Amino acid sequence: MNEEIFKAYDVRGVYPSEIDERAVGYISKAYVAVVKPKKVVIGRDVRTSGQSLLEATKQALTEAGTDVVDIGVITTDMLYFAVAHYGFDGGIGITASHNPSEYNGLKMVRSEARPVSMDSGLAEIRDLAAKNDFKKAERVGKIEELDILDGYIKKLLTFVDKELITNKKIVANPNFGAAGKAVERLASELNFEIVKLNFEENGKFPKGRPDPLLAENRKETTELIKKVGADFGVAWDADADRCFFFDETGAFVDGYYEAALLSQIVLDKYPGGKIIHDPRLIWATQDLVKEAGGIPLINKVGHSFIKERMRREEAVFGGENSGHFYFKDFYYCDNGMIPFLLMLQKLCETGKQMSELVNPLRQNYPVSGEINFTVTDSQKELDEIKEKYNDAMIDTIDGISVTYPDWRFNVRISNTEPLLRLNVEARTKDLVDQKVAELTAIIED
């Protein structure tokens, strides 16, 4: 088994050269040994290798004596819902999120949808799976199937007031993933019109990597918004645990601005609440949270780290610039549909266009967008940058964050890919551009 498929908080690799049915079987049995569940929920995203890996997971879990509840093709937040809402002992999702079609992997949770990451059991699972030395269970687990879509939709609708949703035309792009069926059901319950784009579930992802963060993936959404005169657009990655918006002009809304706006929306319901955000870009979120009477708290990037901090602080919302948004009222988990519903209701309530909400942030908090570098020695690059800017205020919560009065940046090693990620913010766009050029020259030197 290739141990390099174990990442910071999930398992991910190319199928079948890096991850296959045998590896998934070993990992599933190791999961049972570590988590000790009696009944586990399993589901998969739309990838073509998903069903075969799901069957291997099912077989391994039952051989290990664990009962299995198969919930079929799902989004990752549907897995979280099923585990937490129905009170199961854990869950395994067969997914590689936004990675290309040749990838697949596993996301594992405990009861209450608590994450299994490197610091909470994943390292132990890796080591046990590598040994493949498991005792035969006293019994073979049972298998049942469960359709959770009705319950999931009912849960989503608790986040909005149906009466406040007035007719909006929305371009919706699930990127061939599993989000489409949930969007259709929501449209049947609420007063909005969907203009569908890439709605057919297709695990080959015929238009490339299913990741709205990639600029090349946004063009068709932008063009369709303009063509049909939509009020706004929304796109999800393949497993739909991330959500991104486009305004009525077709312009992409940076995840940073989404996090800041959603923080204020949640604080309308929970005045004085704590908001968890990541260190990549911070000024807009901190300012808007304080303006709304909330308490902003910085935390390390990554869904398992954010969730753990939210539970510890009893925070009401967590936002990452990558498009992951977490809600106390959704079991402290990330969800890709709730941001869509909250933003829809906000636009209906205020009568404003999306650009009216976002443009003040674009103007007052200019950013670089995340810039990725492939480097041979990531730690060496971080050390050189830290030394270069040693006259600034520096923190190492995640990578290196360097702050001056009129600009700041964060550079960190990716938890999921072999990349160095850079984010820059400043008081002016010209200064952002200047500092991006300066830092790029250092990293690429």
**Residue boundaries of the structural domains of the chain:** 3-147, 165-252, 255-334, 371-444
| 101 in catalytic set | no
CA separation for the pair 382, 413 (Å, rounded): 9
User: Which burial class, exposed, middle or buried, applies to 41 when counting CB atoms under 10 A from its CB (0-12, 13-18, 19+)?
Assistant: buried
CATH superfamily of 371-444: Alpha-D-phosphohexomutase, C-terminal domain (3.30.310.50)
Short-list 116, 106, 401, CA closest to 278: 401
User: Which burial class, exposed, middle or buried, applies to 232 when counting CB atoms under 10 A from its CB (0-12, 13-18, 19+)?
Assistant: buried
pLDDT of 271: 97
Q: Are 365 and 284 in contact (CB under 8 A)?
A: yes
> Per the residue annotation, which of 28, 49, 52, 97 is the catalytic one?
97
pLDDT at residue 445 is higher than 90: no
CA separation for the pair 191, 182 (Å, rounded): 15
For the ranges 322-331, 351-360, 416-425, the lowest mean pLDDT is seen at 416-425
- Per-residue confidence at 376, pLDDT binned at 50, 70, 90? confident
CATH topology of domain 255-334: Alpha-D-Glucose-1,6-Bisphosphate; Chain A, domain 3 (3.40.120)
* Sequence-distant contacts of 411-417: CB under 8 A, at least 24 apart: 411/381, 411/382, 411/385, 411/439, 411/443, 412/280, 412/301, 413/378, 413/379, 413/382, 414/372, 415/7, 415/8, 415/9, 415/301, 415/302, 416/7, 416/8, 416/10, 416/12, 417/372
Mean pLDDT of 179-202: 97
CA separation for the pair 412, 420 (Å, rounded): 6
Q: Is pTM, for the whole model, over 0.85?
A: yes
Question: pLDDT tens for residues 45-100?
Answer: 999 999 999 999 999 999 999 999 999 999 999 999 999 999 999 999 999 999 99
Q: How far is CA 207 from CA 82, 220, 270, in A?
A: 30, 11, 41
- The reply to whether CATH 3.40.50.300 applies to domain 3-147 is no
> Per CATH, the architecture of 165-252 is what?
3-Layer(aba) Sandwich (3.40)
Omega within 30 of 0 (cis) for the link into 279: no
> Are both 3-147 and 165-252 of the same fold?
yes
Q: What is the CA radius of gyration of the chain?
A: 22
Q: Are 77 and 107 in contact (CB under 8 A)?
A: no
